[in-house]
Amino acid sequence: MAAPDSLQALARLYNLQTAYFDGLGQFRKAPPEAVLNVLKSLDAPVESLADVPNALRERHQALWRRAIEPVTVAWQDRALEIKLRLPASLAETPLSGEIITENSERIGCQWEEKNPIQPVVRKVEGIRFVTRALVLRAPLPLGYHWLHLRVGDQDLETYLFAAPFHAYGPADLNAKRWGVFCPLYALRSARSWGTGDITDLADLGRFVGVLGGQAVATLPMLAGFLDEPFNPSPYAPVSRLFWNEFYLDVTRVAELAECPAARAMINSQQFARELDAVRAQNLVDYRKVAGLKRIVLEELLDFILAAPSARRESFESFVASRSALRDYAAFRAKGERERKTWPHWPEADRNGALTQGGYDDRAKSYHLYVQWLCDEQALWLRSESDNAAGLYLDFPLGVNRDGYDVWRERGLFAVRASGGAPPDSLFIKGQNWGFPPFHPGAIRRQGYRYYRECLRHHMVHASMLRIDHVLGLHRAFWVPDGFSAADGLYVHNRAEEYYAVLSLESHRHHVQIVGENLGTVPPYVTEALARHKILGMHVGQFGVNTDPANALDAAPSHTVASLNTHDTATFMSFWTGADTDDRLALGLINQEQAQQEARYRAAQRDAIVAYLRSAGLLGSDIGAGAVLGAWLKFLAAGGAQFLLINLEDLWLETAPQNVPGTWEERPNWQRKARLTLEEIRATPEIVELLRTIGDIRRRMS
C-alpha cells in the first residue's frame, strides 16, 4: 500500500491540485480514490494504491527523458528560451537545429547557452541527467512553427508558437464602447419562424449601430441536439466546429425563389397554421421549429441537386474542400438512423470508422447543405457589420460528451470525468457540468490543433469573443465518474500556451478577447488577463454594498461591464428579490436564509438609491425603471472599456434565461423575449435610454 505522501507526490508530477479552499472558504482534500481515478484518466499506470510507488518512479523517469516540452512559446520581441533535459554525457555537446515555419520555410538558429558555466546535474533512478537552458535572440515570424534540434545522436522536436504578448485590441483603446445582449433563440420578429434567426440578428445590429453601439452579443450558436437526444443548452453543443442550422433564415436561401415546391409548401394553409402556432408560444418549441425548417430545406436541397447550376457548383466545391464537414455530416446522419448517441452504436462505428451504407446519404447531404447555408449567412452577417454593430460571440467551455467532437477527437478528452466547480454559496454541493474535460497532455501533443480550429470557426465572423470560464485555461476542476463534485480536484494546464493561441488568433482575425472571470477565480487569473490585454468582466449586481456612500463598485478599465449575465437574475428580479424567492422555491436555500437575503437586499436597494441620488443620476422617481436607467448611466460613465446591456432589462423582465443547477425545474434556454424587434424599435423609452448611453460613452472616450 502506498503512503499518502507518495500519492500526493505522484499527483503533483501530473499537475494535480488535490487540496484547495472552495467557494465557501472551506478547506477540501480530494479522497485518494478520486485522485487515483483522475490519474488513470491522465494515463498514469495505476489501478490501485499499491501501484503508486512504481508509477512514481516511472513518472520521474519519463519527465526527465522528455528532453524537450511538446510546445514552446516564443513571445514577440522577446528572446526565446528553451530548457532541455539531457543525459549527462550530452552536457557539453554542441547542438544544431532549425525552425520550420508554418509556411514550410526553414530558418537556421544560432543558440546561446543561458548558463554556460555549469549545467545542473540531477540523478534520477540511478541515471544522471543535466539541464541546459538555450536562448535564441533572433526575431521570429508570427505563427505556429516546428523547432527541430539535434544534440549528439538525439533529435528533439517541439511545436513553436510565436505570438504577440498582447491580444488584439481596437485601434483606439481609449474609446468607450457599448452594445446589447440577447440570446438569438429569444430574439423574435414578425417575420421569423418561432425563434430568432440570422436576419433578426442583423436587424438588431443595424438598430444598435444607428444608436452608436459597437456590438450585439448573443449565446453560442453552435450545432446542437434538437431531436433525439434533445438538449437545447447552447453550452452543450454537438460541436464547436459547426453552426446550428436552427438559426438559418430559410426565406433568405437563394434556392427558395426558384423552387416552386418549397414555396408551395410554405404558402400552404397547414404550414401557415403550424407557423402561427410556434410564433404564438411564449417558449421556443425547438423540435417543432427545427422540423418546419427542415422539411423546407430538404426540398431546397433536392432542387439544387436536380440540375447543374452555379449554386450547385459552389455547394459541391465547399463540401469538397472540407473533409471535417463530410465527417461531421456522416456522424449526424448516423445518429439520425440509430436514434441513439454514439456510445450506444455498434463498436466499429463508436471508434470513428463510419462506412457508407451505415447511414442515409440523403441525411448526410442535408447536413452538408445546411452547413454551407450557415456559412453563407454568417458571412453575410459579418459583411452587414460594416454598417452596423459587430458580433460579440460566446465560446463555450465544453462540448456534449455524446457529440461529434468527442467522438472524432476521443484522445483529447478525459471521458471518465466531467468538468465542474467546487462548492460555493450558490451551489453548496458543487457542480458537475457533464462534459468531459481536455486531457492536458493530449492537447499539447497535437499542438492545440483542435482548439485553434474551434477558435477560428468563431473568429471568422466575430468582432469580440468571450471565453467562457477563462479559469479553465489555468486549471480545470475535474469530477471523476462515480464521485460528487465536492470530491473533485483541479488539473492544471499550461496557461501560457493557451494565451499564445488566443493572442495569435485574435490578431489574425482582428477579434478582441473577453475572459469570463466570475465566481471563485484566483487573483492570478485576472492578473494574467491584464498582462495579455484581455478584457475581464465586471457584473454590477456582484458589486453592490450596503454603505450608501460606497454602494456601487466602479468597473475596472480593462473589463466588459454589465448589470448581470445570462446566468444571473435580471435587473428586475434582483431589484424585487424574485431571484431569492426562486432559490427558496427550488430548495437551494431555506426560509431563514431567504429572510436574511431579503433583509440584505433591502439594504442594498436603499444604498443604491441614495448613492445614485448623490451622484446626480436619480431624482425623486425611484421606481424600478428610473433606477435601471440611473444604474446604466453610472456604468456608462465609468472606466470600463465596454458596456454590455441586457436588452430584456430595458422592459424590466423578471424571468431569467437560465437558472444554473436546474434542468426540468425551469424552462432554461427556451424563453422568448417579451417584445418583438419591431416593438423594441418602436418603444421611445428604450430608444432614448440607449441613445443616452451612447452619448455618455462618446463623451467618456
- Whether residue 425 is predicted with pLDDT greater than 90 in this model: the reply is no
How far separated are the first and last CA of the chain, in Å rounded? Answer: 65
- Whether residue 126 is predicted with pLDDT greater than 90 in this model: the reply is no
Q: Could you give the CA distance from residue 581 to residue 591 in angstroms, rounded to a whole number?
A: 10
Average pLDDT (442-471) is: 97
**Model pLDDT, residue 174:** 85
Mean residue pLDDT across the chain:
95
- Whether residue 117 is predicted with pLDDT greater than 60 in this model: the reply is no
- Report the predicted TM-score, pTM, of the whole model to 2 decimal places: 0.96
- Whether residue 608 is predicted with pLDDT greater than 90 in this model: the reply is yes
**Model pLDDT, residue 113:** 84
Average pLDDT (360-378) is: 97
Q: Is 685 exposed, middle or buried (0-12, 13-18, 19+ CB in 10 A)?
A: exposed
Average pLDDT (121-139) is: 87
**Model pLDDT, residue 336:** 95
Instruction: Report the SS3 class of residue 222.
Output: strand
Number of alpha carbons in the 13 Å side-chain half-sphere of residue 34: 24
List the one residue out of 358, 339, 342 whose CA is nearest residue 350: 342
| Cell numbers representing residue 152 in the block | 549528439
- Whether residue 67 is predicted with pLDDT greater than 60 in this model: the reply is yes
**pLDDT-wise least confident of 213-217, 348-352, 636-640:** 348-352
Instruction: Give the model's confidence band at 377: pLDDT under 50 very low, under 70 low, under 90 confident, else very high.
Output: very high
Instruction: Give the model's confidence band at 123: pLDDT under 50 very low, under 70 low, under 90 confident, else very high.
Output: confident
Tens-place pLDDT, residues 224-255:
999 889 999 999 999 999 999 999 999 999 99
CA angle 580, 523, 638 (to 5 degrees): 65
Question: Residue 462: what are its φ and ψ, rounded to 5°?
Answer: -105, 160
Instruction: Report the SS3 class of residue 86.
Output: strand
Query: Domains along the chain?
Result: 4-64 (no CATH), 77-163 (2.60.40)
DSSP state of 167: P
Tens-place pLDDT, residues 527-582:
999 999 999 999 999 999 999 999 999 999 999 999 999 999 999 999 999 999 99
**Model pLDDT, residue 374:** 98
Instruction: Give the model's confidence band at 429: pLDDT under 50 very low, under 70 low, under 90 confident, else very high.
Output: confident
- Whether residue 3 is predicted with pLDDT greater than 70 in this model: the reply is no
Tens-place pLDDT, residues 497-510:
999 999 999 999 99
How much of the chain is helix, strand and coil, in % rounded to 5?
Answer: 45, 20, 40
Element (H, E) at 207: helix 198-210
Q: Which residue has the higher pLDDT, 31 or 1?
A: 31
DSSP state of 582: H
Q: Residue holding cell 464547436?
A: 240
With a CB cutoff of 8 Å and minimum separation 6, the contacts of 668 are 232, 233, 657, 658, 659, 662
Beta strands 559-562 and 642-646 are parallel
Tens-place pLDDT, residues 297-317:
999 999 999 999 999 999 999
**pLDDT-wise least confident of 89-103, 327-341, 376-390:** 376-390
Q: What are the residues facing 242 on neighbouring strands?
A: none
Tens-place pLDDT, residues 485-496:
999 999 999 999
193, 198, 202, 205 alpha-carbon torsion, rounded to 10°: 100
Listed in order, strand segments (DSSP E) in 37-125 are 71-75, 80-87, 95-100, 106-108, 112-113, 120-124
**Model pLDDT, residue 114:** 81
**Model pLDDT, residue 4:** 72
**Model pLDDT, residue 110:** 86
For the chain, percent of residues with pLDDT exceeding 90: 87
- Whether residue 2 is predicted with pLDDT greater than 70 in this model: the reply is no
Tens-place pLDDT, residues 318-349:
999 999 999 999 999 999 999 999 999 998 89
- Whether residue 291 is predicted with pLDDT greater than 90 in this model: the reply is yes
**Model pLDDT, residue 216:** 97
- Whether residue 92 is predicted with pLDDT greater than 80 in this model: the reply is yes
- Whether residue 426 is predicted with pLDDT greater than 80 in this model: the reply is no
- Whether residue 109 is predicted with pLDDT greater than 90 in this model: the reply is no
Q: What are the residues facing 413 on neighbouring strands?
A: 438
List the one residue out of 300, 297, 288 whose CA is nearest residue 226: 288
Instruction: Report the SS3 class of residue 354.
Output: coil
**Model pLDDT, residue 119:** 66
Q: Could you give the CA distance from residue 46 to residue 57 in angstroms, rounded to a whole number?
A: 12
253, 257, 261, 265 alpha-carbon torsion, rounded to 10°: 70
**Model pLDDT, residue 223:** 98
Q: Residue holding cell 505556429?
A: 144
Question: Residue 554: what are its φ and ψ, rounded to 5°?
Answer: -75, 145
**Model pLDDT, residue 1:** 52
Instruction: Give the model's confidence band at 351: pLDDT under 50 very low, under 70 low, under 90 confident, else very high.
Output: confident
Tens-place pLDDT, residues 675-688:
999 999 999 999 99
- Whether residue 413 is predicted with pLDDT greater than 60 in this model: the reply is yes
